[in-house]
Amino acid sequence: MACNYTAGFGIGQDSVINLDHGDPTMFAPFWKEVGDDATVKISGWEKMSYTSSCDDDICWFLEPEFANEVARLHRIVNNAATDGRYIIVGVGSTQMIHATLHALASIELRHPVNVVSAAPYYSMYPGIVDLMKSGLYHWAGDAAAFRGDDNFIELVCSPNNPDGAIRHAMLGKEAGKRVHDMAYYWPQYSPMRGPADHDIMLFTLSKATGHAGTRLGWALVKNKEVAREMAKFITLNTIGVSKDSQVRAATILKVISDGYEFPKPNGAPQFFHFGQHKLADRWRRLRRAVQESGQFSLPRFSPEFCEFFKEYAETYPGFAWLRCEDQKINDCEDFFKRINVLTRSGKHFGVGQEYVRISMLDTDANFDVFIKRISSLD
């Protein structure tokens, strides 16, 4: 199938801008500037074995250099407690979600366990949960509307995809189980409020560094039995996780950490500063265009002290959760489709179609066209 838009080669007036997916290509200019320091070379004879050199008896496929760099970056950013936690690696945090549900539900006595998340929830959750039509668990919808007993797993996404809100578990802490999806708890998106300390925390390279194509996610897990069940799921699902990807991820994470621990004298860019700067500029332009159009609204956030930047910082979510305020527009996704901008309707997030989610993480070229199109609406 041919593409009718190509970033970097000029985007035509009628070309389609796809801001439906959260493809984090926005970060590419940083990695271009870093150059060879982030380049990975793996010889033909290396990393051939299924197993890693790690003597981790739980996650036997975890590459030690990757595990070390994960722990190091969390320590530098101070966004999640790692001491005494098991690190489990997966093919994106998507596989981690499957592994987590499997692990938590397997050790429950009553099945199927209800899986819930407060609306607006990440649009992939219902599909991921019900994909296997598992007898162990099933999707039970909006956590706010859940009326069942303690037989539940709540997916808590914080900062939340799609609306950027800081979320806390909605259902009682004494009952059920919680999984904290922390894909966006990084300084470019949100002020760091200190280390999160939940039982199960999921992270992904896709949103932390922009390397969605490397397909790597990880979980920090307190309970040994849960960690063991998660690793078992990955063993039976994919017999481990690509060593090549883990080596690449370790290199990428190391560049970011080195940038803060050993800053270069020439003032070389630092990753979270780069990301925050870029998102701040995009949000400023989007808010202005939205205000001038008078047809839409966006969530508002108050500045908070960021423990990482050591100053008050704004929230700049990876998605704009935009509401069409004009009564004449009853399908906001369709409205944007008519100006050749693909967005994702609120109906996929458990709310109405007056909302759309728009990626803020695409290329500069696509973002510029998007702003132009909004600005030229009558």
- Binding residues vs ligand PMP (CB under 6 A): 22, 92-94, 122, 157, 161, 181, 183, 204, 206, 212, 217
Contact criterion met (CB below 8 Å) for 241 and 234:
yes
Decide whether 244 or 331 has the Cβ nearer to ligand PMP.
Answer: 244
Which residues, at least 6 apart from 11, have a Cβ–Cβ distance to it below 8 Å?
A: 5, 17, 365, 366, 369
User: Please, are residues 184 and 217 in contact by the beta-carbon 8 Å criterion?
Assistant: no
What are the tokens at 67?
């595990």
Can you list the pairs that 348-353 forms with residues at least 24 positions away whose Cβ atoms lie under 8 Å?
A: 348/123, 349/119, 349/120, 349/121, 349/122, 349/123, 349/162, 350/119, 350/120, 350/121, 350/141, 350/142, 351/119, 351/120
* 158 close to 168: Cβ distance less than 8 angstroms: yes
Whole-number Å distance between alpha carbons of 116 and 158: 15
| Minimum distance of ligand PMP from residue 221's CB (angstroms) | 16
Shortest distance, position 95 Cβ to ligand PMP, whole Å: 7
Task: Select from 210, 202, 199, 164 the least CA-distant residue to 317.
Answer: 164
Q: Which two tokens stand for residue 350?
A: 């458990």
Cβ 204 to ligand PMP, closest distance in Å?
3
- Minimum Å distance from CB 99 to ligand PMP? 12
Whichever of 93 and 151 has its CB closer to ligand PMP, that residue is 93
- Residue placing its CB nearer to ligand PMP in the complex, 124 or 145: 124
Instruction: Please give the single-letter amino acid code of residue 245.
Output: S
Q: Which is nearer to ligand PMP, 153 or 212 (CB)?
A: 212
Tell me if 218 sits within 8 A of 203, measured CB to CB. yes
**Enclosing H/E stretch for 186:** none
Shortest distance in whole angstroms from residue 6 CB to ligand PMP: 23
Minimal distance in Å, beta carbon 2 to ligand PMP?
Answer: 26
Task: Kindly tell me which of 89 and 374 has the beta carbon lying closer to ligand PMP.
Answer: 89
Query: Using an 8 Å Cβ cutoff, are 178 and 154 in contact?
Result: yes
Q: What is the CA radius of gyration of the chain?
A: 21
CA distances to 39, 255, 261, 269 from 33, rounded to whole Å, are 12, 12, 19, 8
**Choice between 4 and 238, CB closer to ligand PMP:** 238
Minimum gap (Å) between residue 216 Cβ and ligand PMP: 7
Residue 37 or 244: the one with the smaller Cβ distance to ligand PMP is 244
What residues contact residue 334 under an 8 Å CB cut-off, 6+ apart? Answer: none
Pick 114 or 161: Cβ nearer ligand PMP? 161
DSSP secondary structure string for all residues of 31-58: HHHHGGGG-----TTSS-SSS-S---SS
Name the residue with the smallest CB distance to ligand PMP: 92
Closest of 141, 89, 95, 146 to residue 119, by C-alpha: 141
Least separation in angstroms between residue 93's CB and ligand PMP is 4
Chain-centroid distance of CA 369 in Å reads 24
Min separation Cβ 320 and ligand PMP, Å? 14
- Unique residue bearing structure tokens 């960690």: 227
Which is closer to ligand PMP, CB of 59 or CB of 212? 212
Nearest CB to ligand PMP, comparing residues 187 and 217: 217
Q: How far apart are CA 122 and CA 332, in angstroms?
A: 18
In the complex, minimum distance from the CB of residue 203 to ligand PMP, in angstroms, rounded to a whole number: 8
